[in-house]
Structure 1
Amino acid sequence: MAYSSSSSSFNITPPPPLFPKISVENYDVFLSFRGEDTRYSFTSHLHAALSRLKVRTYIDYELERGDEISPALIKAIEEAKVSVVVLSQNYASSRWCLDELVKIMECKRTKGQIVVPIFYHIEPTHVRHQTGSYANAFACHDRRFMATDPNKVLRWRLALSEVANLSGWDCLVTRMESELVERIAIDVLQKLDSINNGGIESRIATYKQMAQAKLEKCLRTGNLNDMEDLTETLQQLANLKLDKALRTDDDKDWEELDVTNQRILQLKQQKLIRSGNPKALEDYTATQHQIAQINAERENRRRGIYRGI
């Protein structure tokens, strides 16, 4: 006797899959780096700085890989708006890094992706012309691939030359690595904001969150260094608010800027009282003068006069 599925009294539920499907998050930034060089130092600090700024960043923590970069890596590169390439001493010795770089430069050409090179204790000319440690790496690549896949080695060389000609960051120029990491993270955030609509609003919101966290720390510790750190963040926030106020000419934006400026002035006055340092007095006076200039510009704009600050 035949039974049709529509007349069956049994409702069989299929078993759950052995490996549930994992959703893949979309990332704004792709980090390309040589693990053994910077995984636990520069790159980890940069990733932490980007995370603090709420930048969704893809970082590959895999220590072992197959012969080719995975589809997940390719997808992350293709969907990223910005790729940050940490070019270190041994970057060129990794064929996976070089394959990533080829894909990144392809996305730059075809998708308009922004690429930010970081020359980490390596001369840009060594990257551009594959000299120094990069020459040693390519001597090994030539022996392995030139007979079977010479185009692969050529693509790697061209990608390195191309990325080295881009405007980037040279770690040999900036002494303080912590300062460099923060500057790079902010630069990446600004590049993302230039791509997305309402960029200045998101930056203001981010710096407000950062300032709040640093204020809470400052209140806990009472440390002068923490106070200076808070003041610096508020100054960056004030610069963004000034930029917005100059664009909109809205009284509300000018008032919010003035609130931040007055808080900065109070903090610098506290520093002057606590330290008695002549430089603190000079900084406090300069801030007073700057705020006066901003207020004068606001008043001029009310009168229809645009002189600029």
Structure 2
Amino acid sequence: MIGLIELHSFIDYIQLEKNYSNLTVHEYDKDIEQFLLFLEREGVSHLNEVEYVHARLFVTTLYEKKLARTSISRKISSVRSFYKFLHKEYNIRDEAFQSLYHPKKEEKLPHFFYEEEMEKLFEANKGTDLLSLRNMALLELLYATGIRVSELISIEMSHIDKSYGIVRVMGKGRKERYVPVGDYALLAVEEYVEKSRFKLMKYTSHSFLFVNSRGHHLTTSGVRHILNEMIKKASMHTTIYPHMLRHTFATHLLNNGADLRSVQELLGHSHLTSTQIYTHVTKEHLRKTYMNAHPRA
């Protein structure tokens, strides 16, 4: 397959110099390899031979596979970044993808829980056994901070400062930020650490805050399983995915008067446009409140 040496150089670059996360590196690798296989099928023998027509045809094949627009957009960005690197390092022309448009984003409003639903979730999952204490700390922390699950499972014991009520998290692109933590979450984490974590870690030793039933470092799939079990326990007829708690955190803040810039900073968004989707949610919430409450609505 053409371009494998260049691909390996690019992967080393984004991994070592740009310090991208393992998941991001894997996505780039997968996307670009898919493009290189496409070029091979099209009879292109060198990366310098790629023209705009090849770029357009590649995108067309992605649409034919009925991929989501977000996936197509990501693949375009991956190959565009690859060619930018090729131009800089190997003097290979990169015009083919420069003028290629990203597909228009599908306007999907993020799903979130209403405040009464969160109360029901918390109430149903109270308990004093080892795993209930851990689960409550996990739920409280996700809701209190709006952090991503990848950020949650990376938290170490030393990252939580109880005196200042903050947690240090490592976000996308290895960007570090400090997020405030409310009293409910701090108390839940403290109770979990004092009464549960040490006992769960009877045969293991590491510094990560959240552990599984055998004391090992909790994984993202482990968090998904825990949240699904908590939903079942609350008899809530809905699906849950970890990002819903992040959406809930942002929506509840805005509904209760927080400004958009502050929410952006708390979420760790690089651009305000990423945070603005939540204004659509709050507007819809206001509209429903009006329709339900106004006598002549």
- Give the TM-score, by structure 1 length: 0.23
For the pair shown, the structure with the greater C-alpha radius of gyration is 1
Under a length normalisation based on structure 2, what TM-score does the superposition of the two structures give?
0.24
